[in-house]
Amino acid sequence: MIDMRVDLAGMRLPNPLMPASGCAANGKELHRFFDIAELGAFVTKTVLADPRSGRGTPRMAETPSGMLNSIGLQGPGILDFTRGDLVWLKSVGARVLVSIAGNTAGEFGDVAVALSESPAFDAVVGVEVNISCPNVANRGLVFACDPLSSANVVALVREKLPRHIPVFAKLSADVTDIVEIASACVKAGADGLTMINTLLAMVIDTDLLRPQVAGVTGGLSGPAIRPVAVRAIWQVRAAMIEGDIASVPIIGVGGVRTGDDALQLVAAGASAIQVGTATFNDPTALVRVKHELAAALQDKGFARFSDAVGIAHTRLDKAR
Ligand SMILES: Cc1cc2nc3c(=O)[nH]c(=O)nc-3n(C[C@H](O)[C@H](O)[C@H](O)COP(=O)(O)O)c2cc1C
């Protein structure tokens, strides 16, 4: 049997599989299909300080090999989350990676403080900082598109949380140089990186000749973005190998539907894998991908999952 255990900046997990934020709500629906405590960790939907109703409808559009969503970070706010969903996640034994965001850098800090003061905080194994949202204090520019804004948020969240809780910065590939943003986040104290969020995209309804989702633009996810995720993970991992960025674990996400898909992200440098859109048409995708990934690694002669992380960087000559 292959050893699938991972240690992500001190976050010790039995296996590297987790749902992508926002794609499995806060666990109750998936738990009807399998025990979510079997996942490496459970990543929650991004939570902000206050309740948010999200964008107008329609909020989804199909695209070739993917989908567009324009949900707009709908949610109940941090206090409701910590009193309800987090308590439930703890009751079923899930290891919780909480995704947080804010409209300003200060709000990210407030959410981190409220989380750390909550009674079920001992179920939290890490925090994922979703910086792919607009900075109200900076003309609505997405935090993740600016190294300074990204670093400010990461430094603030790092400062507000206890040291034993690793902080993962979730990056967007909608930037000119993702290595620059990754570097700013790691220098600011990120213990790990999650890559990638959805890509900004748009669909036009050709009957009505208007944007298909009410928010006009939306985030593209699914297999269509997998090659972008592989490229982004590769570039950041390469910078770590070169010594340009301190080496921290990368959680890979983007278009994973099968064990082979996951293996691409792992070989590029991901130490864990999140599955998002695939869960919508196969609620058991996470369990299936875990088995398929383990089988693929075993077939290739690996004894440990961790031995395959970034392996493609050592095989460049063979690729030519
Ligand atoms: C419906 C939907 C909602 C999402 N909500 C969030 C969210 O709340 N926070 C976040 O960081 N990412 C969110 N994402 C992005 C996913 O976590 C993930 O980064 C992206 O979908 C790429 O993975 P996939 O191709 O496996 O879906 C959402 C994606 C979808 C499709």
pLDDT digits (tens, 9 = 90+) for 114-144: 999 999 999 999 999 999 988 888 888 899 9
pLDDT number for residue 72: 80
Confidence class for position 100, pLDDT limits 50, 70, 90: very high
pLDDT in tens, 200-228: 999 999 999 999 999 999 999 999 999 99
Q: For the chain, what is the domain count?
A: 1
pLDDT number for residue 139: 81
Q: What is the mean pLDDT of the chain?
A: 95
Q: Which atom, in ligand 1's list, is nearest to the CA of 196?
A: 19
Per-residue pLDDT, averaged over 6-24, amounts to 97
Confidence class for position 78, pLDDT limits 50, 70, 90: very high
- Contact, 228 vs 234, CB < 8 A? no
CA of 55 to the centre of ligand 1 (A): 15
In a domain, 100, yes or no: yes
In a domain, 177, yes or no: yes
In a domain, 215, yes or no: no
- Which residue lies with its CA nearest to atom 10 of ligand 1? 21
- For residue 116 the two structure tokens come to 């750390």
In a domain, 173, yes or no: yes
**pLDDT for 318 beyond 70:** no
- For residue 1 the two structure tokens come to 């049997």
pLDDT in tens, 270-294: 999 999 999 999 999 999 999 999 9
In a domain, 295, yes or no: yes
- Which residue lies with its CA nearest to atom 26 of ligand 1? 276
CA of 69 to the centre of ligand 1 (A): 9
- Contact, 296 vs 266, CB < 8 A? no
Ligand 1 neighbours, Cβ below 6 Å, are 20-23, 45-46, 69, 71, 73, 99, 130, 170, 197-198, 219, 221-222, 225, 253-256, 275-278
Per-residue pLDDT, averaged over 58-74, amounts to 91
Question: Domain range for residue 180?
Answer: 6-54+71-200+221-319
- For residue 294 the two structure tokens come to 């383990």
* From 23, 133, 145, 185, active-site residue: 133
C-alpha separations of 74 from 77, 101, 222, 256 in Å: 9, 12, 20, 24
What CATH number corresponds to the domain at position 167?
Answer: 3.20.20.70
CA of 2 to the centre of ligand 1 (A): 29
CA–CA gap between residue 119 and residue 71 (Å, rounded):
29
15-24, 53-62, 150-159: which has the minimum mean pLDDT? Answer: 53-62
145: annotated active-site residue:
no
Tell me the chain's radius of gyration from C-alpha atoms.
18
In a domain, 144, yes or no: yes
pLDDT number for residue 320: 59
Confidence class for position 319, pLDDT limits 50, 70, 90: low
**pLDDT for 306 beyond 90:** yes
Helix 285-299 vs helix 259-268: crossing angle, to nearest 10:
60
Per-residue pLDDT, averaged over 256-261, amounts to 98
In a domain, 206, yes or no: no
The pick from 17, 21, 153 for probing ligand 1's pocket by mutation, whose C-beta has the most ligand atoms within 8 angstroms, reads 21
133-137, 194-198, 209-213, 250-254: which has the minimum mean pLDDT? Answer: 133-137
Residue 19 sits at φ, ψ, to 5 deg, of: -70, 150
CA–CA gap between residue 115 and residue 133 (Å, rounded):
19
More confident residue, 306 or 137: 306
In a domain, 108, yes or no: yes
**pLDDT for 316 beyond 90:** no
Sheet holding 60-63, edge to edge: 60-63, 66-69, 218-221, 199-201
Per-residue pLDDT, averaged over 11-37, amounts to 96
Per-residue pLDDT, averaged over 141-158, amounts to 96
- For residue 77 the two structure tokens come to 């706010």
